[in-house]
Amino acid sequence: MTPLTHQPLAIAPHVLDELRERDDAGVVPRSYVYDMDGAPLRCCLRRSRAGERISLVSYAPLRRWAAQAGADPGAYDEVGPVFIHAGACPGPDPESGYPFAETGAQRVFRRYNADGWISGGTLVQLPADPVRAQTVVEQALHTAFSDPQVALVHVRAVEYGCFQYEVRRP
């Protein structure tokens, strides 16, 4: 696979450690053994496999980015559910391409400026073909970052509105 122009970011290991103790809604997470394949894991940017121990936690990706960047997202700060491994995992495979692009689903590429405010978005229908889906994701990110005001992009699932991953300006 060719190297990605825009790097999808998993939740950082030190943040995962915090979320496993208390999530961004202040709740102590409960883990369970997932009995099916398919939960989108934000720690390693792949789908879960049957028998893995995972947790569903509340996560505030824009809030955490804003704290690092010195930005104030104001009302754009959101907390939502994400799946993570209940314990340490090896993280994402850098050769796997853009995550969660294999389903033929719809994705929103929500753009944020350096202040943490939404500065636009794009709705994308991913093709069922994984190779074409990777190209569509790359094109959507290229379009987003062609605006010099865009600092980062959150990729979200349309069906549930769930945060999938973050991409920062290259």
pTM of the model: 0.93
- Is it the case that residue 10 has pLDDT exceeding 80? yes
The stretch 134-158 carries a mean pLDDT of: 96
Nearest CA to 167 out of 157, 156, 154, 158 is that of 154
Cα distance between residue 108 and residue 132, in whole Å:
17
Q: Which amino acid is at 123?
A: L
pLDDT digits (tens, 9 = 90+) for 105-122: 999 999 999 999 999 999
How many CA within 13 A on the CB side of residue 29?
A: 25
Q: How confident is the model at residue 95 (pLDDT cuts 50, 70, 90)?
A: confident
The pLDDT tens digits for 61-77 are 999 999 999 999 999 99
